Amino acid sequence: MFHVVVVRDAQAMYVLALVTQKGGSGKSTLAVGIAVAAMGNGQRVGIVDADPQGTISKWTERRGHPYPRVVRVADPATIEGALVSLEAEGIWLTVIDTAPTNNALAMRAIASADLCLMPVRPSLADIEAAIPTLIAIRRLNRRFAFVLNQTPPRGCRLSEAATSLNSLGVLALPFVGQRNDHQDALGAGLGVTEFSHEGKASEEVRELWRWILRKLVEGASDHEPHARNEKAAW
Ligand SMILES: Nc1ncnc2c1ncn2[C@@H]1O[C@H](COP(=O)(O)OP(=O)(O)O)[C@@H](O)[C@H]1O
Ligand SMILES: [Mg+2]
């Protein structure tokens, strides 16, 4: 098989992939929320829309603003090229949104990521449905974290889900509650932190972004066997 090897500068741009074959778990919603939160001080952020449903491509049409820069990718072989272009534009973080299936594109997104974030709703069915993606991430030796999304205010189901996810890997904090602001922000072409700056949803996403950033920075300082330049050849 023919591989184009593209070498990007080590750690010049962070790549976060939202993955899990379970549909409706919140990949696109959190991809947008996190990308906009990461633009906090005017930094340039990119999103690779690797889902044929094009949720984020449609969102950016409603948005009508150049950032986050959204690039649509359909062919797994073109993800690395898209990341190189985004990096050349001075973008410091790219979020990859993937389809609800463990297809070749999602696998390539995982392989390109510094961190894979797996949104999971607090139900046994959702946790079970995430396992094949978790196995793929482990096989590709990528760093990952779960995030509990669409959580109810409290309850034993929530703490059972958190316990299960903690036993499978790292669970990001905070949990992201079920809140209309997420849906309304998406509909308005905004990130939730822009839509309702002081709202609880906004606060949770900002805090989640700070958690993710700490993990990205920690990962960059680790001497992993699977460094960025090797990764590009996958
Ligand atoms: N935290 C949340 N609170 C409320 N609604 C949410 C939340 N996260 C996602 N949703 C809604 O759930 C649905 C599925 O989310 P989506 O991001 O499209 O999932 P995926 O991309 O994983 O298929 C959408 O209607 C979205 O608006
Ligand atoms: Mg989606």
> Separation of 33 CA from ligand 2 center, angstroms?
13
Residue whose CA is closest, atom 25 of ligand 1? Answer: 183
Between strands 115-120 and 93-98, the pairing is: unpaired
Site to probe by mutation for ligand 1, drawn from 19, 101, 183, 208 as the one with most ligand atoms within 8 Å of Cβ, is 183
**Domain coordinates in residue numbering, the chain:** 14-219
Pocket test for ligand 1, best of 150, 178, 180, 195 (most atoms within 8 A of CB): 150
pLDDT in the model for residue 11: 57
pLDDT over 90 (residue 5): no
Among the bound ligands, name the one nearest to the CA of residue 19. 1
Residues with CB under 6 A from ligand 1: 23-29, 55, 100, 149-150, 176, 178-179, 182-183, 186
Domain 14-219, CATH among 3.40.50.300, 3.30.750.24, 3.30.420.40, 3.40.190.10: 3.40.50.300
- Ligand nearest to the Cα of 26, by number: 1
On whether the CB atoms of residues 107 and 140 are closer than 8 A, the answer is yes
Confidence of residue 9 (pLDDT cuts 50, 70, 90): low
- pLDDT tens-digit series, residues 82-131: 999 999 999 999 999 999 998 999 999 999 999 999 999 999 999 999 99
Given the CA of residue 55, which atom of ligand 1 is nearest to it?
A: 18
pLDDT in tens, 161-214: 999 999 999 999 999 999 999 999 999 999 999 999 999 999 999 999 999 999
Helix 124-139 crosses helix 156-168 at what angle (to 10 degrees)?
10
Look at ligand 1, atom 26, and give the residue with the nearest C-alpha.
183
Could you tell me the pTM of the whole model?
0.92
In whole angstroms, give the CA distance from residue 93 to residue 96: 10
> Quick one: which ligand is closest to 20's CA?
1
Q: State in Å: Cα 226 to ligand 2 middle.
A: 28
